[in-house]
Amino acid sequence: MSNPLLRVDNLTMMYGDRVGCKDVSFELRPGEVLGIVGESGSGKSTLLRSISAQQEPTKGTVQYNTRIDGVCDVYQMSEAQRRLLMRTDWAFVHQNPRDGLRMNVSAGANIGERLMAIGDRHYGNIRSNADAWLGKVEIASERIDDLPSTFSGGMQQRLQIARNLVTSPRLVFMDEPTGGLDVSVQARLLDLLRGLVHDLNLAVIIVTHDLAVARLLSHRLMVMQQGKVIEHGLTDQVLDDPQHPYTQLLVSSILQN
Ligand SMILES: Nc1ncnc2c1ncn2[C@@H]1O[C@H](COP(=O)(O)OP(=O)(O)OP(=O)(O)O)[C@@H](O)[C@H]1O
């Protein structure tokens, strides 16, 4: 088995007296997809932000096996090291594409910008790379100079994915990537995501309240309630034979709908 790409130990985030997430530990290997599910307020987003260096936890550690320096504690890195990580080896797909795109620059520039941020200066290469990535996310080349605001919600989300994946990250954080889209658009996006995750061997941590999304994308599932992980296992096992009463309730409420 390969070494873990990410290791989270006893991660706890308190907001004053209120628990955001508590004592979360797990490992993630290259190419592995971990789904985090739970009702609203269970701590999914807090956990995702704390792992992805967006919000320093109250307690616990996040270690990442970097390409250059090997295993590093994400919160002990220099600011420059962390910024580089977030621009290259990590990616973050937000629920709302507006949070992950620059709406006032063209689609091509949205993709090219991530390449320029890591030192690519050759305009021709950047543009052809951006063009290739538009193709991979099923956006026509002729839209390369258009602003994202002229795109549909589904297209914007696909552009956000292209912008994120152009630097060949190894770990992608996704926060409800299909939320807020029509059901048919969701299905197409999920299909695309599943293909990309598989072809690029991406490790993914995906937060979703949609068990169907979790089942389709993730190998393992973590169920959260009141900030704690109450069940963690292979996705099919957790969904087909849930052990915790709360997971049983979650699964049965979906089946009844
Ligand atoms: N910035 C904050 N300040 C204070 N409390 C917060 C903050 N962010 C989250 N919380 C609290 O932490 C707990 C977990 O919230 P969190 O948003 O992580 O849950 P969630 O599972 O992602 O919910 P949702 O699915 O609605 O986004 C909740 O009790 C919430 O009120």
Q: Where are the domains of the chain?
A: 1-89+169-185+200-257, 103-168
Cα three-residue angle 164-169-175, rounded to 5 degrees: 55
Given ligand 1 and candidates 11, 17, 18, which is best to mutate, with the most ligand atoms within 8 Å of its CB?
Answer: 18
CA distance 193 to 210: 15
213 contact partners, CB below 8 Å, separation of at least 6: 35, 178, 186, 190, 206
Amino acid 255: pLDDT: 64
Which residue(s) pair with 88 in the sheet? none
CA distance 236 to 246: 17
What ipTM score was computed for the predicted complex, to two decimals?
Answer: 0.96
SS (H, E, C) the chain: CCCCCEEEEEEEEEECCEEEEEEEEEEECCCCEEEEECCCCCCHHHHHHHHCCCCCCCEEEEEEEECCCEEEECCCCCHHHHHHHHHCCEEEECCCHHHHCCCCCCHHHHHHHHHHHCCCCCHHHHHHHHHHHHHHCCCCHHHCCCCHHHCCHHHHHHHHHHHHHCCCCCEEEEECCCCCCCHHHHHHHHHHHHHHHHHCCCEEEEECCCHHHHHHHCCEEEEEECCEEEEEEEHHHHHHCCCCHHHHHHHHHHHHC
* CA separation, residue 74 to residues 17, 61, 80, 145, 214 (Å): 25, 8, 12, 36, 26
C-alpha 45 to ligand 1 mean position (Å): 7
Six token digits for residue 54: 């967006």
The amino acid present at 70, given as its one-letter code, is G
| Mean predicted lDDT score pLDDT of the chain | 93
The 10s digit of each residue's pLDDT in 70-87 is: 999 999 999 999 999 998
pTM, 2 dp: 0.94
Amino acid 183: pLDDT: 85
C-alpha 250 to ligand 1 mean position (Å): 19
Task: Give the mean pLDDT of 178-191.
Answer: 87
Amino acid 118: pLDDT: 82
* 100 pocket-lining for ligand 1 (C-beta < 6 Å): no
What band does 203 get if pLDDT is binned at 50, 70 and 90? very high
Q: Please determine, for residue 254, whether its predicted confidence score (pLDDT) is greater than 80.
A: no
C-alpha 51 to ligand 1 mean position (Å): 15
Q: Please determine, for residue 257, whether its predicted confidence score (pLDDT) is greater than 80.
A: no
Under 8 Å between Cβ of 169 and 90: yes
Given ligand 1 and candidates 44, 99, 206, which is best to mutate, with the most ligand atoms within 8 Å of its CB?
Answer: 44
Q: Please determine, for residue 237, whether its predicted confidence score (pLDDT) is greater than 70.
A: yes
* 209 pocket-lining for ligand 1 (C-beta < 6 Å): yes
CATH class of 1-89+169-185+200-257: alpha beta
* 95 pocket-lining for ligand 1 (C-beta < 6 Å): no
C-alpha 20 to ligand 1 mean position (Å): 6
Six token digits for residue 229: 């992980």
Instruction: Give the closest residue (by CA) to ligand 1 atom 30.
Output: 41
C-alpha 18 to ligand 1 mean position (Å): 9
Under 8 Å between Cβ of 197 and 117: no
Instruction: Give the closest residue (by CA) to ligand 1 atom 7.
Output: 15
* 121 pocket-lining for ligand 1 (C-beta < 6 Å): no
* 15 pocket-lining for ligand 1 (C-beta < 6 Å): yes
